[in-house]
Amino acid sequence: MAKQLEGKVAAVTGAASGIGLASSEAMLAAGAHVVMVDRDAAALQAIAGRHGDAVIPLVIDLLDPKACATLLPKILEQAGQLDILHANAGIYVGGDLVDADSSAIDRMLNLNVNVVMKNVHDVLPHMIARGTGDIIVTSSLAAHFPTPWEPVYASSKWAINCFVQTVRRQVFRHGIRVGSVSPGPVISALLADWPAEKLAEAKAAGSLLEASEVAEVVMFMLTRPRGMTIRDVVMLPTNFDL
């Protein structure tokens, strides 16, 4: 891949695995320095060991409000600037609402909605001052379809989809592009709550995406000419609608 992101600094949340890891590695391959944000210090150190100085590991528990507020200051301290934020961290709660644990609902809404809003809020002044920036949020196919087996998760993604579209309209005049990628089911830890038989059936039917495929779409969005915003990409396995 050409070094299309040479000289750029990106930050990716939930970067130690799944879509976050794939997105980070795609940006690294394109020449960016990547601040990889996650709670898993050991995983981040292992990734940094593979990729060298282009990776800046940043251990933050985004569900801790005080720690979450340190995201941009720590990025600027270690990298000096921020060109790209991929707000990717998220968790999944599926199944019937009546069976859901209320503390799990709180945790999921905090990470999937509140943390994303706070992270974007915190980086915007820096990007506005520089007159440029890209913000991409990992959303979900569930943001576009009232998925009956995941009302809590789908609701969080409907909320964040609205957030992306409204913030985009506020900040485009500052040279900042805001968009989201909305994949269907991706082979990642996010599917850990799926019933084993449902996961096996989906794999056998070719109804799951790879994280690397999502990362390719993220790179497509980031590398469009500055006058073009890809506001949302919905991607799903071809067999998923069968």
Angle at 195 between CA 189 and CA 197, to 5 degrees: 115
| Selection from 134, 158, 141 nearest residue 86 by Cα | 134
SS3 content of the chain, % helix, strand, coil (to 5): 55, 15, 30
- For residues 95-109, one letter each, b for 16 or more C-beta atoms within 10 angstroms of the residue's C-beta and e for the rest, the string is eeeeebeeeebeebb
| CA pair distance 153, 229, nearest whole angstrom | 26
Residues carrying an active site annotation? 153
Amino acid making up residue 121: H
| CA pair distance 182, 139, nearest whole angstrom | 5
Q: What is the 3-state secondary structure (H, E, C) of 35-55?
A: EEEECCHHHHHHHHHHHHHHE
| 3-state SS, residue 108 | helix
CA 32 to chain centre: 17
- For residues 186-201, one letter each, b for 16 or more C-beta atoms within 10 angstroms of the residue's C-beta and e for the rest, the string is bbbebbeebeeeebee
Find the farthest-apart pair of alpha carbons in the chain and give their distance in angstroms, rounded.
51
CA atoms within 13 A on the CB side of 28: 20
